[in-house]
Structure 1
Amino acid sequence: MGNKVAAFSEEQLNEYQACTFLTRKNILRAERLFRQISNDRWPEVVTRECASSFSVPYSSLDSLTELKENPFRRRVCQIFSTDGSASLTFDQFLEMFSVFSEHAPRDIKAIYAFRLYDFDSDGYLSEQDLLHTVKHLTLDLLNPDEYSTIVAKVLEEGDVDCDGRISQSEFIHVILKSPDFVPNFHIRI
């Protein structure tokens, strides 16, 4: 392939393909994007240690075309960041694109969607979590009564055990019935 140096060995590419829902082409495209947002500080040849430790800050991730229009872009980066800072290593970056790929199973997508909306990370979607979610989705353009109505309706639909909150299993049960969920929980790389 000309003078271009491959960032990964064949073995590394095979490992990434085996543990993600991405194609080889997707992995190489993700690496090029990561290289761009790292301001070329990303090495030409990448070791496993580097891929799991070298991170880029959220301020760089925020500029990605693939995330720029997503109202949850910071939250997306936070849930893939092990420390919640929204800075991502290459491995975390790849995991993000893997979960949002068209090849990721619906149940995996549903688990990550739940995490995305569980703002306080307590394992439940409370009224406050739902309010944050709706505000993100509507770009905070509704009035308080409209928000209350929407949150109440979501709880009515999803809170099967009537405990005032939606558990992960309740969420997955409801969300997987939505025909629009999988096509909308997608980031093309």
Structure 2
Amino acid sequence: MGNKLVTFSEQQLENYQDCTFFTRKEILRVHKRFREVRSDLVPKNMIEDQPVTIRIPLESMEKLPELKENPFRSRICEVFSRDGKGNLSFEDFLDLLSVFSEQAPRDIKVFYAFRIYDFDGDQHIGSEDLDQAIRLLTYGELSPEDMQQITEKVIEEADVDGDGKLSYMEFEHVITRAPDFLSTFHIRI
């Protein structure tokens, strides 16, 4: 027998396959990618609880080419991090890439898109959430009046029940009418 380096146990790999939209080979590729971000923090083989306890800081994750140009990069990391601050463990990173993979179903993508846009975490997308999203998307180049006009128009168009904010169902309804949503809501590994 050789000295084959084992990155994960068989059980870990099976669990990761069951909980993601990745093959074993893709999971190992994700680990390699995770390790490349901060090889000083991440060991080649992840033992015991290291896939959950070793975290790469948000500042390092934001530099990934897959996230670097995305105006929502900090928010994406915050939503997928167990600590809520954007510091990602391997399992957090695996979840993030799984949801953004082409294999992930539309309803999973919509669920996480809603969470990303719900900046205050109140289970609705209100005008403050929309203002923050518009500010990120336009790099803060719109006047307050233009932002308010866009926010009001979005709520007017999408708020079916008239409560001044978007529920998950209202958000989902809007997304289903956006043909580009699935093609833009993914990251390749």
Q: TM-score range by the shorter chain?
A: over 0.9
Determine the C-alpha separation between the residues in 2 that align with 1:3 and 1:176. Answer: 51
Determine the C-alpha separation between the residues in 2 that align with 1:74 and 1:4. Answer: 37
Percent sequence identity is: 50
Counterpart in the other structure of 1:127:
127
Question: Per-residue CA shift, 1:1-57, capped at 9, x if unaligned?
Answer: x97723123332222111101233321221012112223332222125111111111
Q: Is the 8 A contact 2:100 2:186 kept in 1?
A: yes
Question: Per-residue CA shift, 1:132-183, capped at 9, x if unaligned?
Answer: 0111111111122221121111101211000000011111121122111111
Query: Is 1:157 paired with 2:164?
Result: no
Q: CA RMSD in A?
A: 1.6
Name the stretch that deviates more: 54-63 or 24-33.
Answer: 24-33
Counterpart in the other structure of 1:140:
140
Question: Per-residue CA shift, 1:82-104, capped at 9, x if unaligned?
Answer: 22110011101100001111111
Query: Is 1:167 paired with 2:164?
Result: no
Determine the C-alpha separation between the residues in 1 that align with 2:5 and 2:40. Answer: 14
Question: Per-residue CA shift, 1:69-123, capped at 9, x if unaligned?
Answer: 1100000000011221100111011000011111111111101001101111011
Count of residues in Structure 1 that have an aligned counterpart in Structure 2: 188
Determine the C-alpha separation between the residues in 2 that align with 1:159 and 1:26. Answer: 40
Alignment of 1:11-90 (within 5 A): 11-90=11-90
Q: Is the 8 A contact 2:41 2:54 kept in 1?
A: no
Determine the C-alpha separation between the residues in 2 that align with 1:133 and 1:40. Answer: 34
3-state SS, counterpart of residue 130 of structure 1: helix
Name stretches of at least 5 consecutive residues in structure 2 with no aligned partner. Answer: none
Name stretches of at least 5 consecutive residues in structure 1 with no aligned partner. Answer: none
3-state SS, counterpart of residue 124 of structure 1: coil
Determine the C-alpha separation between the residues in 2 that align with 1:13 and 1:52. Answer: 14
Determine the C-alpha separation between the residues in 2 that align with 1:144 and 1:53. Answer: 42
CA separation of 1:89 and 1:145: change in aligned 2, threshold 3 A: same
Q: Is the 8 A contact 2:75 2:86 kept in 1?
A: yes
Determine the C-alpha separation between the residues in 1 that align with 2:112 and 2:152. Answer: 23
TM-score (norm 1): 0.93
Q: Is the 8 A contact 1:77 1:86 kept in 2?
A: yes
Q: Is the 8 A contact 1:155 1:164 kept in 2?
A: yes
Name the stretch that deviates more: 87-96 or 133-142.
Answer: 133-142
Determine the C-alpha separation between the residues in 2 that align with 1:149 and 1:7. Answer: 52
Q: Is the 8 A contact 1:106 1:176 kept in 2?
A: no
CA separation of 1:62 and 1:4: change in aligned 2, threshold 3 A: farther
